[in-house]
């Protein structure tokens, strides 16, 4: 058997670990909302706010980890946005109760000042 090498730097591993952790925390909050509702909160940790507030905070943490990966060239922002646009095209047919749907987000490459 040969040596295993994922060819990842410590910084890349750290960013992937952060992304995984934040995605897991988001899933955990979603589970709380499904079981107890948006406005419920843990009476022993009321300082964390409602489940809705925790959801918003965790989405922010996940967006931060995604932006960190983009800024360090782990992922291509345009490819992520193209993936979102593809989802906008194919996911609505599987949604049965949504009245407001997202519109395409991709702007023409080269027009974004953060590019």
Per-residue pLDDT at 24: 98
Task: Render each residue's pLDDT in the chain as its tens digit; 115 residues.
Answer: 667 779 999 999 999 999 999 999 999 999 999 999 999 998 999 999 999 999 999 999 999 999 999 999 999 999 999 999 999 999 999 999 999 999 887 655 555 555 5
60's torsion region: left (phi>0), alpha (psi -120 to 50) or beta? alpha
Q: Note the pLDDT of residue 51.
A: 97
**What is the model's pTM?**
0.83
Return the pLDDT at 30.
98
Question: For the chain, what are the domain ranges?
Answer: 10-75, 76-115
Q: Exposure of 39 by Cβ count < 10 A (0-12 exposed, 13-18 middle, 19+ buried)?
A: exposed
């Amino acid at each position: 058997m040969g040596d295993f090498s994922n060819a990842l730097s410590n910084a890349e591993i750290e960013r992937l670990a952060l992304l995984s952790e934040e995605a897991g925390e988001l899933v955990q909050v979603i589970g709380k909302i499904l079981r107890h509702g948006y406005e419920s909160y843990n009476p022993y940790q009321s300082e964390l706010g409602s489940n809705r507030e925790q959801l918003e905070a965790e989405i922010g943490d996940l967006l931060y980890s995604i932006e960190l990966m983009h800024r360090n060239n782990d992922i291509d922002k345009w490819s992520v946005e193209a993936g979102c646009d593809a989802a906008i095209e194919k996911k609505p047919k599987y949604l049965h109760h949504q009245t407001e749907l997202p519109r395409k987000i991709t702007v023409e490459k080269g027009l974004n000042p953060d590019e």
